[in-house]
Amino acid sequence: MLVLIILAGLAAIVLYQLYAVLGRRVGRQPEDSPAVPATATAVERAPDVAVASADDDGVALSGLAAVKASDPSFDVGRFLGGAKSAYEMIVKAFAAGDRAQLRNLLAPPVMAGFDTAIAAREAESRTETVEFLHPPRADMEKAEVVGSDLARVTVRFLAEFRSRTKGPEGEGVEDRRTAELWTFERHTRSRDPNWLLIHVDAAEA
């Protein structure tokens, strides 16, 4: 299973965004108006300028070809399968307030943000669980190599889940649909096989 660590530094406004995205709304709903994409002020993100790789003949490569050239072991199917598993794990753990699970997946600064949101929920005596109605759909949206060996892949997730909440006002059940873009990156020369989640964006359903 692909284990992911989120290494983005989050400001106070991001804490609210993460709670909305991963806990209670997990992405923008179809009835919502188009959202403004997150910017570097919300999530620490790497520059969008990609430097193409080159093969042995000096021919510039781009997209998936560049990723495979930089990491010959890269397999799209295996990558997407691991990404789907990680997506479900992170969403469920955050909704359930499972700190132990999250600590295995998140860098300390990001864990601190999640922990604050979970604590706020607990202070309101609220609990939530998420049940995916179907396995999320994951499609590769974009692939590139930045610099000499930094592979970056954006995955479009479409998911349906059932949220069960309990609070002072009673219990509630709501079915929701989500559409999100998650961007992962990895240094292909590193022996560490883990891909890091660096950015989350809402997407059109």
Q: In this predicted model, what pLDDT tens digit does every residue of 73-102 receive, in sequence order?
A: 999 999 999 999 988 998 899 899 999 987
Structure tokens at 81: 């399968």
Count of residues in the chain: 205
Residues 6+ apart with CB under 8 A from 90: 4, 6, 22, 102, 105, 197
Domains: count for the chain: 1
CATH code of 191's domain: 3.10.450.240
- Cβ atoms within 10 A of the Cβ of 49, count? 8
Average pLDDT over residues 7-19: 38
CA distance 183 to 138: 12
pTM, full prediction: 0.68
Query: In the predicted model, what is the mean pLDDT of residues 174-192?
Result: 91
Q: Which domain holds residue 19?
A: 5-202
pLDDT grade, residue 107 (50/70/90)? low
